[in-house]
A and B are shown apart, each in its own frame.
Chain A
Amino acid sequence: MTVPTSKDSASSATSDRRVRLRPDVIGVLVIAAAAIAGYLLFPNNLALLTRITAIALLVLSLDLVTGYCGVATLGHAALFGAGAYGAGIVAVHFGMTDPFAMLGFGIIAGALAGLVSGVVVLRAHGLPQLVLSIAIVHLAHEVANKASGWTGGSDGLAGITPDAVFGLYQFDLWGRTAYVFGIVLLILVFVVLRQIVRSPFGMLCRGIRQDPLRVQALGASVNGTLVKMYVISGAVAGAGGALNAISTQVVGLDSLSFTLSAEALVMLVLGGTGSLYGALIGTLTFMWFEDVVSAANPFHWLTIVGALLIAVVLFAPKGLYGTIAAWFAGRKRRSA
């Protein structure tokens, strides 16, 4: 009696797992296909594509705190900049030019920045929370500007020369190595994050977004969970910053700017919060759009972004991905 039951449950568990993993496999394939298409279609614009990949990591990390935990922040570039400066400083001042070591230090710096800003930002709610996040990114900007011995100040931290990946693939002038490095990093992060947001911990975060009081009554620590998520988010943003430092070989103060934070939020909402796909789609759409329009006139670009934002809030509050997904779900339900 007992033998077949345990066998049944075991096989159903593996098939369960397969069903759950299927969207992830599709997601990874879609990212890889898009990356290869980008490589083939724009072989002279790989620097932009790598920049998009780095920003995509920042927006993914913002999605973790804003989309999954419901913390509105306008200071997320502080974590991205911490990663970029972390990777740049170990390369320039400590001679650690191995790209993986730089990436590692970027992730650690980002996670530390996430810990600090998480602890500060979560002290307040609503408008004061927003103001705290803004103050943090401005403070980080001023510190980086002042500590010019370490960061190069307003001239930027130059002279980052990463070694070849595995000692084989040099970072070339066309940015091919950097691009492949970035895409592989993005796919790895994406897979890990998909597991995290589906884990019990990820579910707890969603619960906190919906009703923090009830989660507290259930016995979970609200602030502790959110700070943990902030640290994870910081590590992801730090990876993005490190990728940016490795690929452009320079770190500027603009990576710690309020503008970058606000743009990341715009990208996230454009794509749709609360789903990792939305973050990716929003980043790609926004950055591509920016490249095309701002080449023509930077001020028209600002007007168009403004109009775009208003349109998204009014007509597609779930973002591009959310709206499309809802439309498909509706069709499925109707046909069923």
Chain B
Amino acid sequence: MQTILSIAIDALAYGMVLFVISIGLSVTMGLMRVVNLAHGAFAMIGGYIASYAARDLGLAYGFAVIIAVVGTILIAIPIERLLYRRIYGAPELTQVLMTIGITFCVIGIANYVFGPTLKTIPVPAELQQSVSLGFRTIAAHRLFAIACGLAVALGLWFLIERTAFGVKLRATVDNAAMAAALGVKTKIVYAASFAVAVGLAAFGGVVGAELLPVEPYYALRYMVTFLVVVSVGGAGSIPGALAACLLLGGIDTTGRYLMPEFGEFFFYLAVIAIVCLFPRGLAGRAK
């Protein structure tokens, strides 16, 4: 019982962190049809900035999170204008190569600037203690990660389903040319959703730093995980991404707890099975 509960809590926290980071990737992939392998690099940049702000400058955790999100978006804007603009609508192979190139560059530069060691982000005392549920205790940080995931899911749902921007976004996803003809400024929609995606990646990178530690190879190590989540969930779908994160987080965590010697064997086996059964993702729409 103890084991099942700790597996469940860890799986939930892990799944939620995955969700916060990869939902941005899912939205941009559904919207701009860009296979963005550099998404994890933005999460990593967020983690580095937060670590620098909280540990070296001694700022409060909340401030560090805000600085990380804003800083990552500021870094991402020129990259989007100079590089991503050129690969919208390009063949997949081109997009893969360009974004792997960006990832490699970010890894190399991060290692040069911050060194190869693991970076910690000091969390406030409230998040370090554990919360008692009566029959057992849970690390407060896990609960915080879960709460962040839920908040992001609700916030995005509200943004996309209930606001004017969401209407324009959905119209552009469905048919960009028609939306543009009806007066939607698709370029602004693209730029705004790219910024939101990058900001969420940075936020997830900071919040999830306890589960996915920040180090130079972060971008490469978890790149595959984020891609897998998006493709299992179906690009552009929030419920799909949420379901995929919880499912894959559950499988991965259970495998690690019960059969650690198998590594990620079950994770990838599940991925192959799910993608073969649902080639367009759990919530993917027919083309």
Report Cα–Cα, A28/B109, bound state, in Å: 41
Interface stretch of the complex, out of B1-9, B92-100, B182-190: B92-100
Range of interface residues on B (Cβ < 8 Å): 35 or more
B118 vs chain A, min Cβ distance (A): 16
Find chain B residues with CB under 8 A from A306 CB: 100-108
- Structural contact, A128 and B108, CB atoms closer than 8 A: no
Report Cα–Cα, A306/B97, bound state, in Å: 9
Interface of B is mostly: helix
Given A128-B231, A131-B231, also A139-B272 (CB < 8 A): yes
Report Cα–Cα, A303/B216, bound state, in Å: 12
- Structural contact, A124 and B35, CB atoms closer than 8 A: no
The yes or no answer to B65 lying at the interface (CB within 8 A) is no
- Structural contact, A309 and B108, CB atoms closer than 8 A: no
- Structural contact, B93 and A127, CB atoms closer than 8 A: no
Nearest residue in B to A66 (C-beta to C-beta)?
B93
Report Cα–Cα, A126/B265, bound state, in Å: 24
- Structural contact, A146 and B227, CB atoms closer than 8 A: no
Interface stretch of the complex, out of B122-130, B151-159, B273-281: B273-281
Given A120-B272, A138-B224, A299-B108, also A127-B94 (CB < 8 A): no
Interface 1/0 per residue, A129-164 and B, CB below 8 Å? 011101110110011011000000000000000000
- Structural contact, B228 and A126, CB atoms closer than 8 A: no
Report Cα–Cα, A66/B97, bound state, in Å: 13
A300 vs chain B, min Cβ distance (A): 6
- The answer, among A142, A273, A299, A308, for a CB contact under 8 Å with B264, is A142
Interface stretch of the complex, out of A6-14, A174-182, A312-320: A312-320
Report Cα–Cα, A312/B35, bound state, in Å: 18
Report Cα–Cα, A310/B97, bound state, in Å: 7
**256-307 of chain A: CB within 8 A of chain B:** 258, 262, 265-266, 269, 273, 299-307
Given A135-B271, A266-B97, also A142-B276 (CB < 8 A): no
Interface 1/0 per residue, B247-268 and A, CB below 8 Å? 0000000000000011111001
The yes or no answer to A123 lying at the interface (CB within 8 A) is yes
Given A127-B35, A142-B263, also A266-B100 (CB < 8 A): yes
- The answer, among B97, B109, B263, for a CB contact under 8 Å with A269, is B97
Find chain B residues with CB under 8 A from A303 CB: 104-105, 107-109, 112
Find chain B residues with CB under 8 A from A304 CB: 108
- Structural contact, B92 and A72, CB atoms closer than 8 A: yes
A11 vs chain B, min Cβ distance (A): 44
- The answer, among A126, A143, A309, A317, for a CB contact under 8 Å with B100, is A309
Find chain B residues with CB under 8 A from A66 CB: 93
B18 vs chain A, min Cβ distance (A): 14
- Structural contact, B231 and A317, CB atoms closer than 8 A: no
- Structural contact, A128 and B275, CB atoms closer than 8 A: yes
The yes or no answer to A108 lying at the interface (CB within 8 A) is no
Report Cα–Cα, A247/B109, bound state, in Å: 35
- The answer, among B98, B100, B263, B275, for a CB contact under 8 Å with A131, is B275
The yes or no answer to A54 lying at the interface (CB within 8 A) is no
A12 vs chain B, min Cβ distance (A): 39
Find chain A residues with CB under 8 A from B261 CB: 146
Report Cα–Cα, A300/B263, bound state, in Å: 30
Given A128-B231, A135-B275, also A146-B262 (CB < 8 A): yes
Find chain A residues with CB under 8 A from B271 CB: 131-132, 135
The yes or no answer to A214 lying at the interface (CB within 8 A) is no
- Structural contact, A300 and B108, CB atoms closer than 8 A: yes
Report Cα–Cα, A262/B261, bound state, in Å: 26
- Structural contact, B228 and A124, CB atoms closer than 8 A: no
Given A138-B224, A308-B101, A317-B94, also A146-B231 (CB < 8 A): no
Report Cα–Cα, A309/B231, bound state, in Å: 24
A135-B272, A306-B104 given; 19 more Cβ-contact pairs under 8 Å: A123-B276, A128-B231, A130-B35, A130-B231, A131-B224, A132-B275, A134-B228, A142-B262, A142-B263, A146-B262, A299-B116, A300-B112, A303-B104, A303-B107, A307-B105, A309-B97, A309-B98, A309-B100, A314-B98
List 4 A-B pairs, minimum CB-CB distance, nearest first: A303-B108, A306-B104, A309-B101, A306-B105
| Interface residue ranges, A against B (CB under 8 Å) | 66, 72, 74, 120, 123-128, 130-132, 134-136, 138-139, 142-143, 145-146, 258, 262, 265-266, 269, 273, 299-310, 312-314, 317
A sample of 6 cross-chain residue pairs with beta-carbon separation below 8 angstroms, ordered by A number, consists of A72-B93, A128-B275, A139-B269, A142-B262, A302-B104, A306-B106
